[in-house]
Amino acid sequence: MTTSGSGTATDTHCPYCALQCGMRLRPGAGAEPVEVLERPAFPVNQGALCGKGRTAAAVLRPGVRLTEPLVREDRDDRDAPLRPASWDEAFDRVAAGLTAAQRRYGNDAVGVFGGGGLTNEKAYLLGKFARVALRTPHIDYNGRFCMSSAAAAHRRAFGIDRGLPFPLEDVAGTDCVILVGANPAETMPPALRYFRELRENGGRLIVVDPRRTRTAEQADLHLQPLPGTDLALALGLLHLLIADGRADEDFIARRTTGFAQARAAAMAHWPQRVERLTGVPVAQLAAAAAMFGEAPRGMVLTARGPEQQSKGTDTVSAWINLCLAAGKAGRPGSGYGCLTGQGNGQGGREHGQKADQLPGYRSITDPAARRHVAAVWGVDPDGLPGPGRSAYELLDSLGTDGGVRALLLMGSNPAVSAPRAAHVTERIRALDFLAVGDIVLSETARLADVVLPVTQWAEETGTTTNLEGRVILRGKAVDAPEHVRSDLAVLHGLAARLGVPEGFPEDPEEVFEELRRASAGGRADYAGISYGRIRAEDGVFWPCPAPDHPGTPRLFLDRFATPDGRARFAAVTHRPAAEEPDDDYPLYLTTGRVVGQYQSGAQTRRVDELNRSAPGPFVEVHPVLARRLGVAEGELLAVTSRRGRAVAPARVTDTIRPDTVFMPFHWGGDGRANSLTNPALDPVSRMPEFKVCAVRVGPAAGEREERGAATEAAEPTQRTEPTQITEPATRSAPEERAGRRAVAGRMASGPAVPGRAS
């Protein structure tokens, strides 16, 4: 236990987003076992916490979280109730479920699904568990839904993938920041101070977002493109940068390759064309290009907006191109970065939880990487599986011929967070066996045959890596309830039952020491990082190849991590979203977050204070659209896509485009935004297109019977989430009528939508 300052208080970090704010925990006197205190000395948030972090201890309450293993009463009946069980029985059931599938269908029929909230130690050991204990290639995680497009573009351009190539504090000192599809005012409020300081220091903030978010309201310039057109927008800005003579030709010549092709791609996107594609007037494009081009130093930061698209990798590449052409990369105060989402979104993708990777950000297809990791693990490199299916493809295969039949899922809630969630739920229900390790009974855990209650952040020690690439240490502040075990202990127990008693330590520091060796020499090299150093230095930035290496707060100042040391331009061109609006589904849907909830809401929906501020799902509609649909504030709207339907109250606001509706995705049940979203995948990153699909919208006048069939057929009907909004009684009009009304008359069809490149 780390103690400092006020007696028995423990220094640690928030359980939520990638900012990983420093906080301090003191044993609590009230209903909650710990009290959350400020930790002003930690540099990233300097004591500030948002409502989620401040109230995180509420999820430690026994009535909220899981306190004992649960098993399904009748193992052959998916709808039978769950009952408490001993760990022995739970472990036996899991081992039996996994080995039965292996025996019947082979090792590839067993899969593992992880999460970006797991610590480095857990993510590392989970990857090892899949490959060594289960001997399956099929392990992936919800981080694939988070920043995989940025990761792929990062690697393509710079040869390495770290969310930010500089500490967040550098934002305050640069001259111009373009925030693309990022809304830190709601997703990571303590980070907002750096953007505020940027402007106080005379720097400019440009926000690109289809919505006038709370972040956009603070911008010097807000560009409001059509959803799915960020790629064209970035190309248009590059075009103008070049046309107006603001390209940094010296930087391009000295430190990059591939400019001629990227320039040609940008020249194909002339300003008037980009205006037509994006809806952003040429004058605004020119203003943005000038503002960024004239700034001596500048940054482009992307988040899920441009990334969660079926062309997310190319879209991020286009923004990186803009940075490179402007000479704003690999220099102090300049660069491209990704505002990673999940708490350990960064570390979770570095140590083997991804289908195609081994620890240290090594490729699973690289023979040298396989040899290195196999040696650390004491196994035959030829026995290591190859690459497995990506997250959505894995979920889509569940319970199918040739697919995964038995799944171990930890720290994720795909029944709410996966695209086309009704279908994914159906696939989960088709599994022969599902085991879920979680801290609460999430929507996905309810579908499990065995639920394993695991420890939370305050009850365990372990490292995470925040969006800056800073490896930090969470400290255990309080003991977990008696029948709750750490994820590491779960893997230890399961591995033993699967006949692998060695190699799965329960002690996090012991796992970390092994992770150091496994990562040594890899892209994400942790070899020089120790718990002691992290405590002493407020975190250590990777790569840190040796104990006497200072770590790397700022990447690329001398060279990029490519073989020739130069950053690589990517020649990318715009194309439509996988699904564009048409006569039947005339509006865009985009999805996102609200400040009071986190991810699938499994944790935050169990906190009263957060539910008061964000009580349930809603549909943002522009007043013009609301008038056309004939709906008023608060009226229930049915939103329908080719994949399903969701119902939630209208929130009428002029911060959204009239051709677009927005839904937050934090809720399951009828208001589940991901019932609608499109699992079209990026061909490189395998990222689904959460951020844009085509929908129709209308008053939810009495289509209850059809809705049941349309989207929720595969799911149990009971929903007892405390925040579940309940709907008014049924009305009589059939679904079809509501849908027709939503179309609001004939719409001429635009040009046909060519297929996507996957």
Per CB under 8 A, residues contacting another protein are 212, 222, 224, 226, 242-244, 260-261, 263-265, 267-268, 270-273, 275-276, 278-284, 571, 573, 575-576, 581, 586, 624, 627-628, 654, 657-659, 744-757
Question: Shortest approach of another protein to residue 442 CB, angstroms?
Answer: 37
Question: Shortest approach of another protein to residue 263 CB, angstroms?
Answer: 7
Cα separation, 431 vs 421, in Å, equals 15
Q: What φ, ψ does residue 180 adopt, rounded to 5°?
A: -110, 115
Distance of CA 364 to the CA centre of its chain: 22
In the bound state with another protein, the residue whose beta carbon lies nearer, of 31 and 260, is: 260
- The dihedral region occupied by 159, where left means phi > 0, alpha psi between -120 and 50, and beta the remainder, is left
C-alpha distance from residue 268 to each of 138, 180, 264, 323, 339 (Å): 41, 22, 6, 19, 29
In the bound state with another protein, the residue whose beta carbon lies nearer, of 477 and 743, is: 743
C-alpha distance from residue 743 to each of 125, 582, 645, 711, 738 (Å): 51, 10, 15, 20, 9
Amino acid at 43: P
If you write DSSP's letter for every residue of 698-723 in order, what string do you get? EE--S-HHHHHHHHSTTS-S----TT
In the bound state with another protein, the residue whose beta carbon lies nearer, of 17 and 629, is: 629
In the bound state with another protein, the residue whose beta carbon lies nearer, of 317 and 334, is: 317
In the bound state with another protein, the residue whose beta carbon lies nearer, of 446 and 575, is: 575
In the bound state with another protein, the residue whose beta carbon lies nearer, of 263 and 328, is: 263
Interior/surface letters 325-355, b for 16+ CB within 10 angstroms, e for the rest: bbbbbbbebbbbbbbbbbbbbbbbbbbbbbb
In the bound state with another protein, the residue whose beta carbon lies nearer, of 471 and 625, is: 625
Question: Shortest approach of another protein to residue 742 CB, angstroms?
Answer: 12
Amino acid at 416: V
Q: Smallest Cα–Cα separation from 629: which of 732, 710, 745?
A: 745
In the bound state with another protein, the residue whose beta carbon lies nearer, of 174 and 229, is: 229
Longest dimension (CA), the chain: 73
In the bound state with another protein, the residue whose beta carbon lies nearer, of 116 and 581, is: 581
Question: Shortest approach of another protein to residue 735 CB, angstroms?
Answer: 22
In the bound state with another protein, the residue whose beta carbon lies nearer, of 551 and 581, is: 581
Cα separation, 89 vs 102, in Å, equals 20
In the bound state with another protein, the residue whose beta carbon lies nearer, of 423 and 575, is: 575
Q: Smallest Cα–Cα separation from 561: which of 184, 156, 291?
A: 156
Question: Shortest approach of another protein to residue 25 CB, angstroms?
Answer: 43
Enumerate the β-bridge partners of residue 176: 204, 298
Enumerate the β-bridge partners of residue 184: none
User: 697 CB contacts (<8 Å, ≥6 apart)?
Assistant: 587, 619, 621, 625, 629, 637, 638, 639, 640, 661, 742
Cα separation, 135 vs 382, in Å, equals 11
Are 286 and 201 spatial neighbours (Cβ–Cβ below 8 Å)? no
Question: Shortest approach of another protein to residue 182 CB, angstroms?
Answer: 19
Distance of CA 177 to the CA centre of its chain: 22
In the bound state with another protein, the residue whose beta carbon lies nearer, of 725 and 753, is: 753
Residue located via tokens 């309830």: 481
Cα separation, 200 vs 220, in Å, equals 12
In the bound state with another protein, the residue whose beta carbon lies nearer, of 421 and 621, is: 621
Question: Shortest approach of another protein to residue 275 CB, angstroms?
Answer: 6
Cα separation, 416 vs 664, in Å, equals 11
Residues across the chain: 758
In the bound state with another protein, the residue whose beta carbon lies nearer, of 557 and 747, is: 747
Cα-Cα-Cα-Cα dihedral of 51, 54, 55, 60, to 10°?
A: 150
Question: Shortest approach of another protein to residue 287 CB, angstroms?
Answer: 11
List the beta strands (DSSP E) in 109-236: 110-114, 139-141, 176-180, 204-208, 221-223
Question: Shortest approach of another protein to residue 151 CB, angstroms?
Answer: 21
Cα separation, 631 vs 636, in Å, equals 8
Amino acid at 169: E
**SS3 category, 49:** coil
Question: Shortest approach of another protein to residue 228 CB, angstroms?
Answer: 13
Question: Shortest approach of another protein to residue 264 CB, angstroms?
Answer: 5
Question: Shortest approach of another protein to residue 705 CB, angstroms?
Answer: 30
In the bound state with another protein, the residue whose beta carbon lies nearer, of 13 and 222, is: 222
Question: Shortest approach of another protein to residue 273 CB, angstroms?
Answer: 6
Neighbour count for residue 729 (Cβ, 10 Å): 6
Are 49 and 21 spatial neighbours (Cβ–Cβ below 8 Å)? yes
In the bound state with another protein, the residue whose beta carbon lies nearer, of 7 and 751, is: 751
**SS3 category, 686:** coil
Question: Shortest approach of another protein to residue 637 CB, angstroms?
Answer: 18
Enumerate the β-bridge partners of residue 26: 35
Q: Smallest Cα–Cα separation from 304: which of 657, 682, 559?
A: 682
- The dihedral region occupied by 639, where left means phi > 0, alpha psi between -120 and 50, and beta the remainder, is beta
In the bound state with another protein, the residue whose beta carbon lies nearer, of 511 and 571, is: 571
- Which tokens is 83 given? 């009952």
Q: Smallest Cα–Cα separation from 549: which of 526, 532, 565, 531?
A: 526
Cα separation, 640 vs 688, in Å, equals 18
Are 71 and 95 spatial neighbours (Cβ–Cβ below 8 Å)? no
Element (H, E) at 219: none
In the bound state with another protein, the residue whose beta carbon lies nearer, of 230 and 712, is: 230
Question: Shortest approach of another protein to residue 683 CB, angstroms?
Answer: 9
Question: Shortest approach of another protein to residue 235 CB, angstroms?
Answer: 11
Question: Shortest approach of another protein to residue 582 CB, angstroms?
Answer: 9
Question: Shortest approach of another protein to residue 516 CB, angstroms?
Answer: 42
